[in-house]
Structure 1
């Protein structure tokens, strides 16, 4: 068998030609290389050139201004409807020309009217551009100062009005009020003078119609009416429902220091002070080189107001938590955090605690007598020291828990005073021992509101701070003699002493025999104008208190007292920071409490 092989047919494969713009065409029409590939593989048309015929057969769109205007109107209409809806949901309404707050059951609400009220209140006003602002409207012919309750209500209402105006500007109601700092400036508040200048509040019609009570020292300054009005001021109103004098002094001194720190001129109003005239106790305070503003421009708050009024009723706003947060030194501990407030009070003490000539002379004489008792006759020997002891009884109870219903025992005062004497002269005597001679020439000086303390076993041998004015006990008073018979019965007023100390009820009853309260804790009506006899007796009580403080604060080396009494804290201020705090001359025996300033 013969086998033979067969070759497979040849298959010619040729690569398709691609378009090349650089490829040349045929050289001649008879060339065998001529083909139509360069025409078939031509590039696509340029996309930048417009098509001659619309794609898909659609006509060319044309600009229609009517449709554009219709769409714009629809958009604006929808936005207006949405804005109106949001304003309704947020509970806002257009601002009234005038609005003020009314007090009902301790709740305040806004009332819109077209005329200003005839009583002091914050109001909401609109400027010429329709923007809502708020200020405080006090009728120019209103009596000055206002009642303490009115000042407190204005501060409470100010917060509500400020929140309401802020809601008007933000177009939303905020349930929670933000916590602002002490020197926060409300951009929506308008000063009274500015509101009057823009015609938003009526100014005083005539100066003769304004009931302006002369401030302390104002009537004694020649040419004061020709001076310019102070740019910024603070006026301290001494009226208070507190019978004690200590809290008023502490607030007065601190307010003066704060005013100096803020660049404000300082004035004092004593027109309704329970103790009478300021000049009966002190010399006139420093008078600024400008005159006080109109009384209706003096506001209790906000604090950034141009002219402020400081009162006991608004102490929680001026000297409250925001004040402490701003001025306390966060880098220090314990009492050292209070140094800025201490310095404020110290400034006020140095400027305002200038006793009248008669009392100042008596205090200086008494201090010299006490100092002469401490001098050691031997040369090169160290003199003794004076330790002041301040005992407050009456209606002031201690902070310490175990004595909260009574008083700190008197023996604790004496024991601590003797301990200070021995500690001062320990290791200062011969051979490094106790300086017995200096201890023997050291003495305690006592000041108390309770006459029975002076006769107690612990202090019967102790020198009094001053002896010019004494608060006597009932047993030392002479029985009053009956007056001539004027009827069937002849009533004799019973003598009232100061046993137990100073009580508010006893103070308000001075000069009013028929209104003596049933108990010392019961306080009669404090709004009744005092009689001349009542003012005379109150003046004696106040002068005795001030001279006691002056002798202890200016004439002793150390002081033992209880910080629950404001007089004790005043003594620390009178001693000064270095002597009282750094050198530990101020000694508290009422628990582990430190010095603090204004209490409210």
Structure 2
């Protein structure tokens, strides 16, 4: 029995009657093609395609709704429509960005701020002109990008005061972080410290900033008077030479009355400059005869005198030093650096140790790169002035003659140098940190070295000599070292007891001044009081504004003291086969450098009796 058939004509007529009453156009119904009609004839037919995989079957046939739907149809968000909207959005943003950038490029180039010190905080202050005092400044380039540099007025005094160098390095760090935040458009956490050779991409060197018109140019330098640097060429040769590409200038100025720390920093700075390919200069214009408290009224008088009063000039570079306002204490990536005792923590601080300490070695051998820096500086810079150099050479020859055999010109004995530091420098060793290492320990160690060496040589006829140098005159008269030879006798320090024994009895003449000796060793307070006018009471309290400038006599006495110290070091360092000293003294460390690494450390000729501490360079 066949299934009932569907009469489509009747259905069409019924629907047409209802739709026509609502003025709806006529809809013709056609038989839809079967989904199977598009199927391939076979799997290997040439008509085979993948259409059947992507073409979905048509919806089931149905009749139009009798009642129209109310409301708007739900939009369909296709991926193509979303992508089109995203492209339009990006296009609008790009147009806005270039529009804003163009507006910023049309603005004039000007300095936009500098840092002012207010305690420990720094505030950016917007101005249209560079300040008339040394400070880091923030500038903008032609594209509106923030950069920072350091502005020092070309006519400003050089060198700056030590506290100004310290503040400048602190301000540079703050400004560098501020500019980095400007580029990131937000405040972010910065590294505690960067590597020693970190280059800030936002820093602009002074010469580069001047070339771009961001700082005053060469016209402002025409009337600037610059003092001559040690190592600077003079005359026509200087005018014809070019400015050095990179340089380092060491400033001889320190609050420390002692000469040893300054000498070690000077040597290490020279070695570091050679390592970095920088030309080296020395400024001694502010080597004042006063401490930091006295620097404001020193009237140009110096602590130890000119550098050339003690040493011969250093090697002359074949170029000119840069203008003084281009010399910066930091960042270290600056083309022209200034190094002084005030900035030792920046130049020879933790970042310096991280780079140059040999992490593959143990103990003192980690310090060899720093030792080499100091050794390089010693070889080039420690050439005493003519008169002192002649005496030192004669003294060394005289001491060597004492240890020569009478019947032999080649077989020599042994010289053991002993360096004893008292005064305001105390040992590292705990039990002696409030006093000094006993003299019998020095003497016992010196005799032990003599006996060991002579016994190993197997020649009892060898002669031995102990040579001593100390800042305490009483050491020379002690039972332990009364038989020892002085390192040098050209300039002697004497205690009051020794002076009284040599002063004739003048009876009761009251107008004779009381004898004042060099008691107990080197003390900073005693050094600064040398040569003071007798009209100032000894108990007077000196303030910053009332401190009297040093007299010519004070400068002369301090120069003598410095020359005596240097000659002691020269004789001990160049003549001794062994040296006994305390590493807590900077002079002891200098003597190790003068002996050399192989002799002092590898062979053990440099002997420390102040605990188990080892050689170390600059202590900042």
| TM-score under structure 1 length normalisation | 0.81
Whole-angstrom distance in 2 between the partners of 1:533 and 1:131: 57
> Which residue of 1 is the match for residue 435 of structure 2?
406
Match of 2:460 among 436, 439, 461: 436
| Equivalent pair of 2:419/2:580 in contact (CA under 8 Å) | yes
| 1:400 Cα deviation from its structure 2 partner | 0.5
SS at match of 1:477: helix
SS at match of 2:431: helix
Whole-angstrom distance in 1 between the partners of 2:269 and 2:281: 10
> Which residue of 2 is the match for residue 363 of structure 1?
392
Matched, 1:421 2:483: no
SS at match of 2:447: helix
Match of 1:572 among 578, 585, 592: 592
SS at match of 2:569: helix
Distance 1:354 1:594, change over 3 A: same
> Which residue of 1 is the match for residue 103 of structure 2?
none
Deviations 1:530-561 (A, max 9, x none): 33211111110000000000000001111000
> Which residue of 1 is the match for residue 337 of structure 2?
308
| Equivalent pair of 2:403/2:465 in contact (CA under 8 Å) | yes
| Equivalent pair of 1:98/1:112 in contact (CA under 8 Å) | yes
| 1:53 Cα deviation from its structure 2 partner | 11
Distance 1:591 1:42, change over 3 A: closer
| 1:71 Cα deviation from its structure 2 partner | 8.0
> Which residue of 1 is the match for residue 603 of structure 2?
583
> Which residue of 1 is the match for residue 37 of structure 2?
43
Match of 1:127 among 141, 158, 161: 141
> Which residue of 2 is the match for residue 469 of structure 1?
491
- How many residues are matched? 533
Matched, 1:447 2:476: no
| Equivalent pair of 1:506/1:517 in contact (CA under 8 Å) | no
Matched, 1:354 2:374: no
**Where do 1:198-597 residues align within 5 Å?**
198-218=212-232, 220=234, 222-273=236-287, 274-379=303-408, 382-429=411-458, 435-438=459-462, 441-477=463-499, 493-514=513-534, 529-597=549-617
Deviations 1:321-353 (A, max 9, x none): 110110011111111110110010001001000
Whole-angstrom distance in 2 between the partners of 1:140 and 1:41: 91
Whole-angstrom distance in 1 between the partners of 2:431 and 2:329: 39
Distance 1:258 1:50, change over 3 A: same
Whole-angstrom distance in 2 between the partners of 1:546 and 1:161: 42
| Equivalent pair of 2:370/2:617 in contact (CA under 8 Å) | yes
Distance 1:436 1:69, change over 3 A: closer
| 1:468 Cα deviation from its structure 2 partner | 0.5
Distance 1:568 1:222, change over 3 A: farther
| 1:217 Cα deviation from its structure 2 partner | 4.0
Whole-angstrom distance in 1 between the partners of 2:607 and 2:335: 40
| 1:513 Cα deviation from its structure 2 partner | 3.4
SS at match of 1:292: coil
Whole-angstrom distance in 1 between the partners of 2:445 and 2:93: 82
Q: Please identify runs of 4+ aligned residues in structure 1 that moved more than 6 A.
A: 45-61, 66-81, 478-482, 521-528
Whole-angstrom distance in 1 between the partners of 2:431 and 2:34: 115
Distance 1:166 1:455, change over 3 A: same
SS at match of 1:283: coil
Distance 1:280 1:523, change over 3 A: farther
SS at match of 1:461: coil
SS at match of 1:218: coil
Distance 1:104 1:528, change over 3 A: farther
| Equivalent pair of 1:505/1:517 in contact (CA under 8 Å) | no
Whole-angstrom distance in 2 between the partners of 1:175 and 1:567: 43
> Which residue of 2 is the match for residue 25 of structure 1?
none
| Equivalent pair of 2:111/2:130 in contact (CA under 8 Å) | no
Distance 1:343 1:68, change over 3 A: closer
Distance 1:347 1:566, change over 3 A: same
| Equivalent pair of 2:110/2:129 in contact (CA under 8 Å) | no
Whole-angstrom distance in 2 between the partners of 1:44 and 1:469: 119
| 1:476 Cα deviation from its structure 2 partner | 3.4
Whole-angstrom distance in 2 between the partners of 1:278 and 1:336: 33
| 1:147 Cα deviation from its structure 2 partner | 0.3
Structure 2 residue runs without a partner (length 5+) = 1-32, 40-50, 65-72, 97-108, 288-302
Note the aligned Cα RMSD (angstroms). 3.6
Match of 2:187 among 147, 170, 173: 173
Structure 1 residue runs without a partner (length 5+) = 1-38, 82-94, 430-434
Distance 1:106 1:80, change over 3 A: farther
Distance 1:75 1:349, change over 3 A: closer
> Which residue of 1 is the match for residue 196 of structure 2?
182
| Equivalent pair of 1:253/1:345 in contact (CA under 8 Å) | yes
| Equivalent pair of 1:227/1:289 in contact (CA under 8 Å) | yes
